[in-house]
Amino acid sequence: WTEGTLEEAENSLRELAALAETAGSEVLDGIVQRRLKPDPATFLGSGKAKELRDVVAATGADTVIVDSELAPSQRRGLEDVVKVKVIDRTGLILDIFAQHAKSKEGKAQVELAQLEYLLPRLRGWGESLSRQAGGRAAAGEGIGSRGPGETKIELDRRRIRTRMAKLRREIAAMKPARETKRLNRRRNSVPSVAIAGYTNAGKSSLLNRLTDAGVLVENALFATLDPTVRRAQTPDGIGYTLSDTVGFVRSLPTQLVEAFRSTLEEVADADLILHVVDASHPDPEGQIRAVRQVFTDIDAQNIPEIIVLNKVDAADPFVVERIRQRERNVVVVSARTGEGLDALRERISESIPRPETVLDLLVP
Ligand code: GDP
């Protein structure tokens, strides 16, 4: 169900499928439902839900992923019809974040986002909670999985809020360490280049190409939740750092915006941004706009930017040409075939700040 056009719904579903594959699922089928309002009981409405049940039975799917946010009662209602697990978009993204968060800060941010997502849903779980009334209530068994009834839920809520406050303090305390690192780098005046862009645009592939870093590349959104920093060199031997950032997604759930933005601090501090764009995507220009909006939000709008128009091997030449003409600083590449990468290396070399002349004199 979508407020937008059918085409928007299909683009969104395509991304959802990519997200699901990132989370390790195999995508079997997709269904689009048009209606004025989501059904309060089953989200899809009973007719469509039954159709979905048949698709589930025919494909042998074990999970249904809904490209929207479901109320807890809708999720249960739909599960009762389709007889398999139902998760929503936010749940899926949280799952991926949890899988891929590696740094202490990344983990703390993901946990905070998970708790924020969980908190308003506790009441809706009352039913399943009371079924476990006699069950063990081991500490740390998973918040919300213990104890029945409203009082218990209130207690859990309080615990969650306490935990969230603690996480916020921890995250705030981690910032100075990063600041210090950054200042040190500034002092050493090593130019920094940040790679940013949508999920699946080819950021990790490009990082590999530019650094031979052996960073994990997979058809995986968020393979790079934690900022990874590598060393690279211009063709004439000037060293710089190259950092990969977490990918953008369409309609990022609000609970995740903070976690997402703080991973983009690297971008706000960079000397140059490589804004990677998938030229074979149905709406590359819309993606460029959305990424730029976030650059503005994090105060990175004045940092020099190269639009790296990637996947030219798979793109419509007409679209490539159109973007090349409309945007100021475009380099057309294919991280897959290697096309355009030398030109990109040259452009990076021209765009990063040069060490002071006095430093040049020190070099024999
Ligand atoms: P990231 O999510 O932005 O880091 O993107 P990845 O580097 O993981 O690439 C996402 C997918 O796009 C992978 O399946 C890559 O093999 C593929 N890909 C990356 N660059 C190119 C390219 O230039 N051409 C084509 N056809 N596919 C590419």
Task: Determine the 3-state secondary structure of 145 from DSSP.
Answer: coil
Which of 205, 248, 331, 341 to mutate to test ligand 1, by most ligand atoms within 8 A of the CB atom?
Answer: 205
The CATH number of domain 190-362 is 3.40.50.2300: no
What pLDDT score does 285 carry? 95
What pLDDT score does 317 carry? 97
Residue 127 — pLDDT band, cuts 50, 70, 90? very low
Is the ipTM beyond the 0.95 threshold?
Answer: yes
For ligand 1, residues with CB inside 6 Å are 199-205, 217-221, 223-224, 247, 310-311, 313-314, 334-336
Asked whether 114 and 96 are in contact (CB, 8 A), the reply is no
Q: Of how many residues is the chain composed?
A: 364
Inform me whether the pLDDT recorded for 119 exceeds 90.
no
Distance CA 273, CA 294 (A): 13
Instruction: Judge if 6-94 and 190-362 fold alike in CATH terms.
Output: yes
User: Ligand 1, atom 22: nearest CA belongs to which residue?
Assistant: 311
pLDDT tens-digit readout, 10-69? 878 877 887 787 677 888 888 777 777 889 999 999 899 999 999 999 999 999 999 888
The residues spanned by each domain of the chain are 6-94, 103-129+144-188, 190-362
Looking at every residue in the chain, the average pLDDT score rounds to 80
Residue 358 token pair: 């006095």
Asked whether 171 and 108 are in contact (CB, 8 A), the reply is yes
The CATH T-level fold of domain 6-94 is Rossmann fold (3.40.50)
Quote the ligand 1 centre to 205 CA distance (angstroms).
Answer: 6
This prediction has a pTM of 0.69
What pLDDT score does 100 carry? 62
What pLDDT score does 68 carry? 86
pLDDT tens-digit readout, 130-144? 334 343 444 444 444
Helix residue ranges per DSSP H, 139-192: 149-188
